[in-house]
Structure 1
């Protein structure tokens, strides 16, 4: 259970790091602001289309009597929004990392340099174009995995009561894991760790990952909050990777 607290500690440490290095905080805000504009447009569409989507997805309930029809579809609309927010939290990070790859790479590198006795950061030896391609490819793979989970959770969300209580809790845990993996990928990729190895490493320290990712997943349900936490989240993920490196080496 100690790993849960340690994971949260890295998240706090990352926010403190960007608080002490405000130039890098401002630098890291730019990709999140661009993504936020895209998200606002997407959620406006969701607000207008959720009712129609639920009605289309549940034709078997058309003949139900009042008030059960309204209650059932009302629960589902809430479920669509909750699961949409959870998927958005994961997708926000992935999309922002794709847009902000050069920004977050520099930020993560600066964290490594500031924490290294010799002031140096690990280097992959790859070109920026190659780094961007690998980051985009891995983000798409992770989004595909997250989408599979989202579909599964949406299907479970159709079950009354269970879908509005247990499923969102599971969704937060899944989202936290994927968030931590996506954020640590910036520093791990620079160390030459491939996406499958990244996932294996995250699974070997699930409590640490959840301690870092779950609070972030809850905060990321509010996109504006996500924008301001993102630079510190990248910094904290880099600090987490540094300690994982040390533990592996020892």
Structure 2
């Protein structure tokens, strides 16, 4: 039985429907993973590592998040103040868990991200993975880890710029949490769109241009990845789904001309 091409069909121009098409990329990516034995095998390995990493992270935040908030805002004695304090604690826990998952897990799983993306492109057509060679493998591994750390740095930098909002009691804590969540969602889209574009030697300026042009599409995709972290069991697959979804996003944007041909292909 043959399946239709997994490449999503986007409008060449940005519009309100972009947000929902970006959100729908998660379902398309999950379906592709379950139809491909190679993607499923790599995803299962990623899921095992992710489960361990998320468990450790959850435990650490459960212990230390109350201490972090308590250092900025002492637990009130009045009942309404305590309710508000615990609400802010819950929001802080959510943001730190998502940020931590997107710092620790991508770095640990960096060696598997490019193979996942390459297999996805093969299934999209018009692409063949390069043959395995030890030298290029280690060079690619170093580049992948380096680029992942660089993108993580920008995630943390954005959150650090917003962090002084916490100096404003209550309102500042809530505002930092909301803006930090939006920044994280948008960063998630950029992280997983940049990965296949980096493999094809696009400059990061091109990634930024595409994200500005189709920001609603990227925000919808980022929201989908963000929400996936909160679905028990499925959250262990969040990185494979995000990598496959980001690759599908790249191929869909290429198909409608929002992303030009790879720089290496221009002279061919």
Q: What is the aligned residue count?
A: 241
8 Å CA contact 1:50, 1:77 repeated in 2: yes
8 Å CA contact 1:31, 1:99 repeated in 2: no
Q: Does 1:83 align with 2:95?
A: yes
| Aligned residue in 2 for 1:197 | 206
TM-score of the aligned structures, taking structure 2 as reference length: 0.75
8 Å CA contact 1:111, 1:238 repeated in 2: yes
Q: Does 1:120 align with 2:128?
A: yes
Deviation at residue 197 of structure 1 after TM alignment: 3.3
Match of 2:223 among 214, 227, 230: 214
8 Å CA contact 1:29, 1:230 repeated in 2: no
> Secondary structure of the equivalent of 2:185?
helix
Structure with the higher fraction of residues in helix conformation: 1
Q: 1: CA distance between counterparts of 2:130 and 2:18? A: 25
| Aligned residue in 2 for 1:234 | 243
Match of 1:175 among 184, 200, 223: 184
| Aligned residue in 1 for 2:195 | 186
Q: 1: CA distance between counterparts of 2:92 and 2:223? A: 20
In angstroms, what is the RMSD of aligned CA positions? Answer: 3.0
Deviation at residue 218 of structure 1 after TM alignment: 1.6
| Aligned residue in 1 for 2:86 | 74
Q: 2: CA distance between counterparts of 1:148 and 1:66? A: 36
| Aligned residue in 2 for 1:106 | 115
1:101 to 1:46, Cα distance in 2 relative to 1, 3 A: closer
Deviation at residue 84 of structure 1 after TM alignment: 1.0
1:105-146: per-residue Cα shift (whole Å, max 9, x none)? Answer: 2222122122225x53589x9922222222222222222221
Q: How does 1:46-65 map to 2 (within 5 A)?
A: 46-58=61-73, 61=74
Q: 2: CA distance between counterparts of 1:115 and 1:174? A: 30
1:81 to 1:97, Cα distance in 2 relative to 1, 3 A: closer
| Runs of 5+ consecutive residues of structure 1 not aligned to the other structure | none
Match of 1:151 among 160, 169, 182: 160
Which region of structure 1 is more displaced relative to structure 2, 106-115 or 219-228? 219-228
